Amino acid sequence: MIEELAQEEFEVYLAKNELKLRQLLKKYSDSIVFANISEGMKESGWEAWIKSVTENIAAVDVGVIAAAENPTLKLKYLKQLNVRCGFTVMKPDISAVIKQLEEILASANAKGRRKYVRALTGDETNITVNLPANGGFVNGAIKDISSVGFSCSFSEDPNLTKNSSITDMQIRLKTQLVKAQGLVFGSRMEGLEKIYVVLLSPHTSPDVHTKIRKFIHAHLQSKMDSELKL
């Protein structure tokens, strides 16, 4: 899942199977987990779960989300259980909650050096791009995509020129078709395959960026759901 906090992008997933999630965190030990103690298990169950995670997977940071203010619970989680990513209370002013979560993520360096979240789609047959080249249109397979651009390859090299503009570009994201303009940022060779990097035009509609973010969100969440079922 992708959540856009202010102008930043973070890679976020929803998980409702606490047991499977705890097991999966051993694989993704650099994660930050926000436990919503107002849903799912009883609060005592969440206390035991958080203890299990923090004591056995030391690299994972944990934060708590609660439906209402409770100073006693807050003190317990922050002081006794040493929850490092705060005690966030859901409020009617969702923008204030988002700002608080953003500050927590920033202090935990959750973003790292990557500015935009991307989805790897090289194994998908219905995530493609159609663009004009050499007097006609060519179809390419999208290898990965973010809200600002993508990489792609073609069965026959269209010989796209670096810094050239692309008009009438159609991006197929499974059942959804997105129209946009782009700019060829460059290319590279991966073995015998030529990979082009295409950036979306600065004039791209915010609606297009939103559609791509939602697709990435759904794509990543689907991958995580599959792992949680194993």
| Sequential pLDDT tens for the chain (230 residues) | 334 434 578 899 999 999 999 999 999 998 999 999 999 899 999 999 999 999 999 899 999 999 999 999 999 999 999 999 999 999 899 888 988 998 999 888 887 777 899 999 987 889 999 999 988 999 999 999 999 999 999 999 999 999 999 999 999 999 999 999 999 999 999 999 999 999 999 999 999 999 999 999 999 999 999 999 98
Own/partner pairs, 63-68, CB within 8 angstroms, 24+ separation: 63/32, 63/33, 63/34, 63/35, 63/87, 63/88, 63/104, 64/34, 64/35, 64/37, 64/88, 65/34, 65/35, 65/36, 65/37, 65/38, 65/89, 65/90, 66/36, 66/37, 66/38, 66/90, 67/38, 68/38
Domains in the chain, start-ordered, CATH in brackets?
2-107 (3.40.50.2300), 118-227 (2.40.10.220)
Distance CA 103, CA 100 (A): 5
What pLDDT, on the 0 to 100 scale, is given for residue 15?
Answer: 95
Q: Could you tell me how many residues make up the chain?
A: 230
Rounded to 5°, the CA angle 132-159-161 comes to: 85
Rounded to 5°, the CA angle 110-108-89 comes to: 100
What pLDDT, on the 0 to 100 scale, is given for residue 6?
Answer: 40
> Which residue matches tokens 């219905």?
126
> Which residue matches tokens 């202010």?
6
What pLDDT, on the 0 to 100 scale, is given for residue 160?
Answer: 96
- 181: Cα within 13 Å, side-chain hemisphere: 9
Strand-pair category, 2-5 with 61-66: unpaired
Reported as type and span, the H/E element at residue 96 is helix 94-107
Q: What is the pLDDT of residues 134-191, one digit of tens each?
A: 889 999 999 999 999 999 999 999 999 999 999 999 999 999 999 999 999 999 999 9
